[in-house]
Amino acid sequence: MAKSKVVNVAAVKKLSPFRYPGGKTWLVPYAKAWLASLPHKPTNFIEPFAGGGIISLTVGFDGLADRVTMIELDDDVASVWQTIFGANAKWLWRRIEEFEISVENVKKELESRSTSIRQKAFQTILKNRTYHGGILAAGSGLIKSGEAGKGISSRWYANTLSKRIQGIYELRSKFDFIQGDGISLLNSYAKEENIVAFIDPPYTAGKNGKRAGKRLYNHNQLDHEALFDVASKLKGDFLMTYDNDTEVRDLARKFGFVTDLIPMKNTHHAEMTELVIGRNLDWLSDMRKAKPVNQWLFDPNAD
C-alpha cells in the first residue's frame, strides 16, 4: 500500500459546532476526492453515524450533493442537530453568545435537568466544549487546566460557535436530520439510485482494537457484519472508515470490498493509520499521485 502523508486539518474549513471525539475533519480532503471521482453528483448524501457531522456539513456547504441526510442515535447529539435545523436555532446561538463562562456557571447549568430539546442542545454543546476531549459519554468530566492554562473556557469560542450555527441554519433546507438507528435507516435507502453513504460507525469490534468506541460514545455496540451487509446492498457508492483492525479487514474481504490506509494523528499527536473501505478506492491512489493535500501537517486539536 502506498503511503500518503498526514493532512493539515487547519486548512480544512471548520463548520461543526462540535469538537467531536473520533471526528473526521482530517478526512475532508479525501471525502471530497472520493465524491469528485463519482460519475454523477449524488442526489442524496447519507451519513448514518453523523456525530459532529463535519463530512455532511462540508458536502452541504460545498454543494457536493443535492441533499444531505444525517442520522444519529444519541439523544444529546440529536438534540443539537434538531435545534440547529429547527425553529430554535436562533435561541441556541443567542444562548451561547450570552452565557458567561465560569466553572460555577457551567456546573449550575449542567446540574439543571433539561426541560426542552433546545436546552438539552445547549447543555450538550457546553459539555462538548468543557469536558475532557469533548467526550459526552458517561464517565466524562470537566477539563481541568485546559489549553494554555485557560481552564474551562479554553474551548468555549462563543462567537465562533454562534456563527457556525448560523451558517448551518442558513443552509437548513438542504439537510435532513433523523434520530435513529444508522443500520436500519441506511437499509431503507439501499434501493435508491444515485445516493451515496459515508459510514463512520462507533468502533468496538476487533480483538486487537483499542475498543475506543466504548469510552467515547454512549451508543457503542453495533452489529458490524450487519452494517457490512447493508453496505453491500446499497445501489449507490459508499465510503467507510474504521480503526485498522484485522477483524474489520476480514469483514471487508468477506464482502468483496477493498481497503486502504490513511495516516492521521490522534489527539495525543500519535501518528496512526485509519482504515478506509469501499468498492473502489482508485481515487485514493490518484490523489496520492497528484498529492496536493498530502503535504500538509495535521493539528488534531484545531477545532
Q: How far apart are CA 33 and CA 164, in angstroms?
A: 24
DSSP summary character for residue 255: T
Q: How far apart are CA 25 and CA 12, in angstroms?
A: 7
Grid coordinates in use for 295?
A: 503535504
One of 181, 192, 247, 299 touching ligand SAM (CB under 6 A):
181
Strand order in the sheet with 238-243: 175-179, 67-72, 44-47, 195-199, 238-243, 271-278, 258-265
**Where in 75-94 is the site for ligand SAM (CB under 6 A)?**
77
Where do runs of H (alpha helix) occur along 210-274? 212-216, 224-233, 246-254
Cβ contacts of 114 within 8 Å, gap of 6 or more:
79, 120, 123
**Least distance between ligand SAM and beta carbon 78 (Å):** 9
Candidate segments 65-73, 93-101, 264-272, 290-298, binder of ligand SAM by CB under 6 A = 65-73
Nearer to ligand SAM, 9 or 281 (CB): 9
* Max CA separation in the chain (angstroms): 54
Query: Does the protein bind ligand SAM through residue 245 (CB under 6 A)?
Result: no
Nearer to ligand SAM, 64 or 222 (CB): 222
Binding track over 209-228 against ligand SAM, x by CB under 6 A: --------x-x--x------
Nearer to ligand SAM, 131 or 217 (CB): 217
Q: CB nearest ligand SAM: which residue?
A: 51
**Where in 33-62 is the site for ligand SAM (CB under 6 A)?**
48-49, 51-55
Say which residue the cell 441533499 belongs to. Answer: 67
Query: Does the protein bind ligand SAM through residue 134 (CB under 6 A)?
Result: no
Beta partners for 277? 240, 259
**Least distance between ligand SAM and beta carbon 291 (Å):** 24
Query: Does the protein bind ligand SAM through residue 73 (CB under 6 A)?
Result: yes
Cβ contacts of 39 within 8 Å, gap of 6 or more:
none
Nearer to ligand SAM, 24 or 164 (CB): 24
- At 77, which helix (H) or strand (E)? helix 75-84
Chain residues in the site for ligand SAM (CB under 6 A):
20, 22-24, 48-49, 51-55, 71-74, 77, 181-182, 200-202, 217, 219, 222
